[in-house]
Amino acid sequence: MKKVLFGSVAVVALAMPLAAQAADLPVAPAYKAPVMAAPIIYSWTGCYIGVNAGGKWGKVTGADSIPAATGAGGTSPASAFGFDSGSSNNGSFIGGGQVGCNYQTGQFVFGIEADADWQRLNQTVTVGALAPLLFVPGDTFSFSSRWQASVRGRLGYAWDRTLLYVTGGVAFTDMTVATNFIPFGIFPGTAATDRQTLTGATVGAGVEYAITNNLSLGVEGRYTWYGSQNFNTGSLATIGFAGGPFTFSPTTASVKLNTAEVLARLNWKFDWGGPVVARY
């Protein structure tokens, strides 16, 4: 019994220093998961200015009309020459700039943009061998345009730095119509030029990628139509069927212009709309 008691005392005596040492050990810190930074999502909100360059193609259709005219030789018949310039070889370089503003909510981007570009569209239609009455083979009608501009809305869908969008609005362009009625027999040749600004509609689509927080690169295609516009194409010498001196009949051309273009665009976005935003 004494041996058991002595052993118990010895165990307690040894355990007390060990417990004291354990109490002096530092408490292990509680584990905390690392805080993950929220992903940075690019914002398209803001205003921008940029440049563009590409190709443009145009097609002119319409008709030049000669009304009936009464002179000393009697009354001449009315006549018209319909024309279609085609579009295969009527291309032009186009270049200029644009300015606009975007507002992004969620992944949708709403914007407005205005642009202006220089171009050099030139088209000529010549009356062929089967010339309508009062026209002569070799009579020519020339069409040219040197600038275009537009004001458009934009609606896009963004995946971070990539933006797909559609666009549409009102377009403007200049057109010059020049006629050259060549001399024929006793009839003198005449020429005329008329220049006007056309208003039409334009629609298109594009894709844009933000290379940096301020610089973006994109490609856009658009189709534009300008409806029908009347041009003064000068006077043509005509004669009545009864013979006698010729008289001059004023002529007019009803012209329709449709164009298509593909542009590469480079934009610089200002920070007025705020920096990139974090999405949690």
**185-195 pLDDT, tens per residue?**
778 889 999 99
Q: List pLDDT tens digits, range 36-52.
A: 555 668 999 999 999 99
3-state secondary structure 178-222: EEEECCECCECCEEEEEEEEEEEEEEEEEEEEECCCCEEEEEEEE
What is residue 186's predicted lDDT score, i.e. its pLDDT?
77
- For the segment 222-265, what is each residue's pLDDT rounded down to a tens digit? 999 999 999 999 988 776 554 556 677 899 999 999 999 999 99
Domains of the chain: 41-270 (2.40.160.20)
The phi, psi pair for 19, rounded to 5°, reads -65, -40
Task: Give the residue with greater pLDDT, 172 vs 271.
Answer: 172
Q: What pLDDT is attached to residue 280?
A: 45
Question: How far from 229 is each of 82, 129, 190, CA to CA, in Å?
Answer: 15, 27, 22
Q: SS3 for 22?
A: helix
Give the count of alpha carbons within 13 A of 103, CB side only: 3
Q: Is the pLDDT of residue 8 over 50?
A: no
Assess contact for 146 and 175: CB atoms under 8 A. no
